[in-house]
Amino acid sequence: MLTDALVAMGHLVLTDDGGELTSSGESFLRKLGIDVASPSRTRRLFCQPCLDWTERRYHLKGLLGAAILRRLLELGWFERIPESRALRLTSRGREGLSEIFHVEFDGQPAAWGERSETQQRTSRGR
């Protein structure tokens, strides 16, 4: 959902080999409080698309995806579900994703990373 939004807004360009932030993407994420500098002393990828088989859409792996997740957790937009890799979207997060990332919700599931009868959808990137 966020990957789709970043691509749709022209902030991120994805290829099979990786992803690259545009200058508008760097500015956008910086304003949100996300450090977009790629540390030179790491072997970890900066950004690469990764297909989530449950959601059937791309998310970001690498330093950029981790930095975005860290910030959204700090903002209280998502909460970790104990003893799980899943995340729960908070009401604050729903508002922030809608306002800042232009994500629209229709039948939002309770948590990302867990199977749900109702699947989250966005109007962008489909």
User: 29-43 pLDDT, tens per residue?
Assistant: 999 999 877 555 566
> Looking at the chain, how many residues does it have?
126
| Number of other CB atoms surrounding residue 95 within 10 Å | 11
pLDDT for position 40: 57
Cα atoms in the Cβ-side hemisphere of radius 13 Å centred on 17: 0
Q: Is the pLDDT of residue 113 over 70?
A: no
The residue that leads in pLDDT, 66 or 110, is: 66
Q: What is the pLDDT of residues 45-103, one digit of tens each?
A: 788 777 777 777 777 888 899 999 999 999 999 999 999 888 999 999 999 999 999 88
The secondary element (H helix, E strand) that includes residue 26 is helix 23-31
Q: What is the pLDDT of residue 48?
A: 76
Q: What is the pTM of this model?
A: 0.75
Please report the pLDDT score of residue 43 as a whole number. 65
The shares of helix, strand and coil residues in the chain, as percent rounded to the nearest 5, are 30, 20, 50
- Summarised one tens digit per residue, pLDDT across range 10-35 is 999 988 778 889 999 999 999 999 98
More confident residue, 50 or 4: 4
